[in-house]
Amino acid sequence: MKQVLLLSIFIITSTLSFAQKRLSPAVPGQGGIFKIENPDEAPDPSIKYKIVIDVTMGSEDNSSLNPALHNIARMLNLHVVAGVPKENMDVVAVIHSKTTSSLLNNKAYKKLFQVDNPNNELISALTKAGVKLYVCGQSLIARGYDIKDINESIGVSVSALTILTEYQLNGYALLKF
């Protein structure tokens, strides 16, 4: 029995010592990813990445982080860990539809859902990383939110439709989360 226990401990500690640590160099503490050594395909570090993100995905649980905002952090971290300089990442995201509430300031979010907004720290980290975040003005009004209730780091666009077409016509690649 002792031998089985010792073998189990050895296997567990050996496995843990080889486990990779998540990295988040572009958005510290958010969207951690694993470095892939010697991949067959990787981002080109010489390219200036211009990306516009259409964000409609939200969390079903109001006390949980918005997975789409988390994916924006992951996308930035993936590029930077692969060697793309952070200054080569020009990222814009427009949030609309049912996920608009993710952008409410804490006071408005807490009033609506009786919990603190779990996205505020991530929103702050994304904007510090240079991501330009916008809320669709049409979704804001249609869902009955007041502009003063939006997180101070968020800009307001006329609509998601106009911001998405404008940026794509200016050479930005479209991602949808």
Q: Which DSSP letter does residue 19 get? A: P
Domain ranges of the chain: 44-176
d(C-alpha 145, C-alpha 170), whole Å: 30
- What is the pLDDT, as a whole number, of residue 120? 97
Q: Which of 31, 154, 24, 30 has its CA nearest to residue 93?
A: 154
Q: Are strands 132-136 and 173-176 parallel, antiparallel or unpaired?
A: unpaired
pLDDT above 70: residue 12: no
Two tokens, residue 153: 């780091």
Write out pLDDT tens, residues 101-127: 999 999 999 999 999 999 999 999 999
* CATH 1.10.1370.30 holds for 44-176: no
- What is the pLDDT, as a whole number, of residue 18? 56
Write out pLDDT tens, residues 44-88: 999 999 999 999 999 999 999 999 999 999 999 999 999 999 999
Kind plus residue range of the DSSP H or E element containing 174? strand 173-176
pLDDT above 60: residue 133: yes
Neighbour count for residue 88 (Cβ, 10 Å): 17
**b/e map 132-149, b = 16+ CB within 10 Å:** bbbbbbbbbeeeebeeeb
pLDDT above 90: residue 13: no
